[in-house]
Structure 1
Amino acid sequence: MTTIYDIARRAGVSATTVSKVLNGYPDVSAKTREKVQRITNELGYQPSAAARGLVTRRSMSIGVFFQDESGMGFRHPFLHDIIASFQDVVGASGYDVLFFSPTNGSKTPQGFEARARHRDVDGLFLLGVPRTSPGLTSLSRSRIPIISVDLDLLGSRASYLVSDNIGGARVAVSHLAELGHRYIGFVGDRTGTKPGHDRTLGYHQAMQELGLPFRAEWVLEGDFTEESGYEAMQRMLALPEMPTAVFFASDMMAIGAMRALREAGLTPGDDVSLIGFDDVQLAAYVTPALTTIRQNKEEMGRMAGHELLELMQNPNKPPAVLTVPIELVVRSSVKRIGIGSTPQLSTSLHRA
């Protein structure tokens, strides 16, 4: 196996000089640096990560805490795309990614920080972690470089990134209103996430600003899963009156609601208009195809990766709050109705 001493003998320099070149020290002439790098490539030398870490005090690894209430894990269409693009960015800079189990060691007040320090990671990426998780305040003060997605964790070296969830919810309600819907229900989030909070806020803002009638019984909660959307629609169908349209805080909940409507003998999109949030891949293939608010998942992962690299490489970089724009994707699950349409009685909606 090739060592730095082999490179040094071939280049006619000391092992110390080779080490300086490999570790990016500036006090080596350009000519010597070029020669050492060329011979390193010719000999196929691969430096030991552990040895390099002793010199640079960097492990070249990034820890990832992610949590998914649906149980789909890496198969979740939203989380998967973000993680994949994040890995592309940090991997191109030579970093490996270490995934921490979300249920092992992060439930105690010092869980996140203790596990990060035990593995000696250079930075952390948090995705899908609830705001109520113990240890987040301590983590934000730890001086570990951190980027979180959909979690408003801000500290001396902690930035966070979100989609424009408030704006997206406002766009969703406005789109329904433009198509004649005045009676608009909402299925939000009961798990306490930052996106769930902001989408709920955006719904209420839009309803008020557009002068639309608010009915508390039409505002239900789920947990972003298909099953919770199914259950929420079942509860809504049991009410004396139904809204003409429902905005769901996630696509998966809207897809679950479609199943509940069909079981009740109704046609999603025709009898009740539905609009979601996320634009997961499945949204384009269900029937009817789901109108939704698209999050740019790949861009979220890329921005998260670049922000964390900057935090790790520049200790004086101030933390930032990054917002990714959203986009309305119009499909066939929303039907135009007459202006001034009244709420429909759930009993009259059921077909014989």
Structure 2
Amino acid sequence: MITIYDIAKRANVSPATVSRVLNGYPDVSQKTREKVQRITTELGFQPNAAARGLATKRSWTIGVFFQDHVNSGFKHPFLQDVLKSFKDVMGAKGYDLLFFANHMLEKEHDSFAARARHRNVDGVLLLGVPRTEPTLNSLVSTGIPCMSVDLDLLGPRAGYLCSDNKGGALKAMAHLVEMGHRRIAFIGDRFSTKPGHDRLLGYQEALSQHSLTFRQEWIAYGDFTEEGGYAAMQQLLSLEERPTAVFCAGDMMAIGAMSALREAGLQPGPDVSVIGFDDIAYAKYLGLTTVAQHKDQMGMQAAQALLQLIDDSAQSPAVLTIGTELVLRQTVHAI
């Protein structure tokens, strides 16, 4: 079995130097680092994870808390794309991801903080966790480096990242107004998530900017699922005065809304314009006009910010906003 002593002998350096290279310490010259890494690859050396943890006082694992309010597992396309880029960055730095089981946190030992400590993770990523989760404060108080996506979690060692949800909503609404629409409905989020809240704020602000009347009956709520969008659109279609356009806070809800329109004998676009938010992979195949989130950038920047917190105890937590882009397709028509 190949050991660090074999690598040290071949590289003509000390075993301690080999250990420092393998564990990512910066105080080794670039020339020596490259030589040790080349010989390590040539010899097919695989470092022992337990030994590496003892040397660096790290577990080399990142805990991922995903709280799924609609029990979709990891099926949602937005989640998949963010996690992929997050995983790629973390994997390149030698970290594995540990996904915590999705269940209700009813006892103290089930809290985010207790479970993160039990698994001795080096950092935490939170996805889909609502602001109302009662155990968030205990996690922040542990001092474990944390980054959350679409949750405004703040603390001495906790930061967050989100898309420009309000700005994206303003872009969507401006496009609908430009296309002549004045009766614009909104299908939003009933779960008090930050993205849902910010997109509703953008919708309301756009109504004010364009001197359009806010009408409560033109607000319908889904749950970021196709089924939720379908039911919300049915509610809007039952109104005596129907909207000519609908802005949906998520692409899955927009897809469900389009199904409800077709079932009612209406065409998305020519009869009722529909615009979504996310730009999930198959939105383009449905011709859905939507606001694109840069999901790969979200995962990558969340990982980089978390790594900075792990590597530097003096690093201030990041608060990052990723821009959005309006993608024009076929579901918005002029009137």
Q: Which residue of 1 aligns with 2:309?
A: 311
Q: Does 1:224 find its partner at 2:224?
A: yes
Structure 1 residues 156, 270: closer, same or farther in 2, change over 3 A? same
Q: 193-202 vs 237-246, which deviates more?
A: 237-246
What is the deviation of 1:324?
0.4
CA distance in 2 between partners of 1:39 and 1:270 (Å): 64
CA distance in 1 between partners of 2:112 and 2:213 (Å): 44
Residue 188 of structure 1 contacts residue 220 of structure 1 at CA under 8 Å; is this kept in 2? yes
Letter in 2 for 1:145: P
What is the deviation of 1:248?
0.6
Segments of structure 1 that go 5 or more residues without pairing to the other structure are 338-352
What is the deviation of 1:282?
2.1
- The alignment partner of 2:152 has SS state of coil
Question: Mapping of 1:1-352 within 5 angstroms?
Answer: 1-7=1-7, 15-16=15-16, 18-23=18-23, 39-103=39-103, 106-108=105-107, 111-286=111-286, 289-337=287-335
What is the deviation of 1:73?
2.5
- The alignment partner of 2:247 has SS state of strand
What is the deviation of 1:40?
4.0
Segments of structure 2 that go 5 or more residues without pairing to the other structure are none
What is the deviation of 1:86?
0.7
TM-score normalised by length of structure 1: 0.88
What is the deviation of 1:2?
2.0
Residue 107 of structure 1 contacts residue 133 of structure 1 at CA under 8 Å; is this kept in 2? no
Structure 1 residues 26, 296: closer, same or farther in 2, change over 3 A? closer
CA distance in 2 between partners of 1:24 and 1:123 (Å): 17
Q: 12-21 vs 165-174, which deviates more?
A: 12-21
Structure 1 residues 35, 229: closer, same or farther in 2, change over 3 A? closer
- Percent identity over the alignment is 63
- The alignment partner of 1:232 has SS state of helix
What is the deviation of 1:214?
1.4
CA distance in 1 between partners of 2:31 and 2:187 (Å): 65
Q: Which residue of 2 aligns with 1:340?
A: none
Letter in 2 for 1:311: L
TM-score normalised by length of structure 2: 0.92
- The alignment partner of 1:98 has SS state of strand
What is the deviation of 1:234?
1.0
Deviations 1:74-130 (A, max 9, x none): 3311100110011111111111111111216x4545611111111111111111111
CA distance in 1 between partners of 2:172 and 2:70 (Å): 24
- The alignment partner of 1:322 has SS state of strand
What is the deviation of 1:283?
1.4
CA distance in 2 between partners of 1:31 and 1:319 (Å): 33
Q: CA RMSD in A?
A: 2.3
Letter in 1 for 2:192: G
Letter in 1 for 2:94: G
What is the deviation of 1:232?
0.7
CA distance in 1 between partners of 2:260 and 2:22 (Å): 61
Letter in 2 for 1:130: P
Letter in 2 for 1:115: R
Residue 67 of structure 1 contacts residue 73 of structure 1 at CA under 8 Å; is this kept in 2? no
Q: 261-270 vs 204-213, which deviates more?
A: 261-270
CA distance in 1 between partners of 2:229 and 2:186 (Å): 11
Deviations 1:261-296 (A, max 9, x none): 12212222121111111111221122xx11111101
CA distance in 1 between partners of 2:182 and 2:30 (Å): 70
Structure 1 residues 31, 277: closer, same or farther in 2, change over 3 A? closer
Residue 108 of structure 1 contacts residue 135 of structure 1 at CA under 8 Å; is this kept in 2? no
Residue 159 of structure 1 contacts residue 321 of structure 1 at CA under 8 Å; is this kept in 2? yes
Letter in 1 for 2:236: M
Deviations 1:33-54 (A, max 9, x none): 7776565444332221111111
CA distance in 1 between partners of 2:264 and 2:29 (Å): 77
Letter in 2 for 1:232: A
Mark the structure with the bigger radius of gyration. Answer: 1
